[in-house]
Amino acid sequence: MADDEDLDAVRAVLTGDVSAFQRIVERWQGPLVNLAYRFCRDRGQAADMAQEAFLRIFRALPSFRAKSSFSTWMISVAANVYRSQLRRNLPELTGLEALADFPGLSEALVETAGSREELVRRTVQALPAKYRDAVVLFYFHEMNVNRASESLGVPPGTLKARLHRARALLARRLRHLFNSDTVPTEA
């Protein structure tokens, strides 16, 4: 139903009714801003990134072929925008792996991040890009491997392999926060 409404709006835009794009923006602004926030963890930057994503989607509308659902295609375009923007602005927390080697430092890191949960999310952000993207999209799609792999443009098997590797890296970097039996160890 929602996809039909999106397709109606797309058709209207393609026939010259630019204002019809507002229906798409209003329906998808929440998810796209939230996806951007999961990538950058900054509200202001997330809004800017989502705006750029909507512009890119508007420009790319003529190339939409309806092979996949509009929402999947749109999130895939947005994810590409976010990934390329993050490549330009490297994340700040890149040295977490080295820091995690010092026992007792985890409490200080938790304090800096604000909470244990926030530290985990920031550690995800500091993963190598291909693992970070896999984790972000997997949890954004509520752990649906097929939808996440479509958004990322990789086969489901590749996504699973990246998730496994990402979780192993997270386990190593956060081993002071978790008991070894709650987080999988590296294979």
Partner 1 sequence: MDELDRILSEEHAIAPPAGFSRRVMAAVHREASTPAPIPFPWRYAVATFAAMAVALVACLFLSPLLPTWTLDGGAALQRALSRIDPNLLAVCSTVAFAAVALLRYSLRFVFF
Binding residues for partner 1 (CB under 8 A): 18-19, 21-22, 25-26, 29-30, 33-34, 37-38, 43, 46-47, 50-51, 54-55, 58-59, 116-117, 120-121, 124, 135, 139, 142-143, 167, 170-171, 178, 182-184
Minimum CB–partner distance for residue 101 and partner 1 (Å): 20
Minimum CB–partner distance for residue 144 and partner 1 (Å): 12
Q: How far is residue 89 CA from its own chain's centroid? A: 15
Q: What is the CA radius of gyration of the chain?
A: 18
Cβ closer to partner 1: 16 or 67?
16
Longest dimension (CA), the chain: 62
Cβ closer to partner 1: 33 or 86?
33
Minimum CB–partner distance for residue 40 and partner 1 (Å): 12
Residues with Cβ within 8 Å of 177's Cβ and at least 6 positions away in sequence, in order, are: 106, 110, 116, 119, 120
